[in-house]
Amino acid sequence: MQSMFQPNAAVVADNSKDNSKDNDGWQQITNKNRKKKKLVIGQSTTHTSFTGIAKKSVVCVTRLMPGTSTDIVTDHLKTNGINVLSCFDVSRANENEELKFTSMRVCVYTMDVAKLYDSNLWPMGVVVRPWKFKSQS
């Protein structure tokens, strides 16, 4: 009985393409066609008998002028059609140094993230990037 984990010599030999076979007769498939999964994210605001829970995304907005408040950033985003779920000042100054710029952690719905990455939304010099979560260890 042939194990399902052993290479089938007949199948390997019949393949006309040589896709980098290793010493054991295994071959690596490099151009496997993958089907794109269809995905729809609901955006309807009409009331139904059920509701969904929208996915959230967190970004870092940094290189803001020192002293910029979270209220100013939140209001700016709201006037541009972005619903801000939370906004925290995460600025850190080094010992015996002045704060060079303000950084914020902003949480929005995932459907609004594309709007956040529009360079025309932000003043010159402001950097917006995905938030990096540090591991617990």
For 10-69, the pLDDT digits (tens) are: 544 444 555 555 667 777 777 767 777 887 778 777 878 888 888 999 999 999 999 899
Dist. CA 73–CA 105, nearest whole Å: 11
Alpha-carbon dihedral of residues 38, 44, 47, 50, nearest 10 degrees? 20
Domains along the chain? 56-130 (3.30.70.330)
Q: Which helix (H) or strand (E) holds 109?
A: strand 102-109
pTM of the model: 0.65
pLDDT band at 3 (very low <50, low <70, confident <90, very high): very low
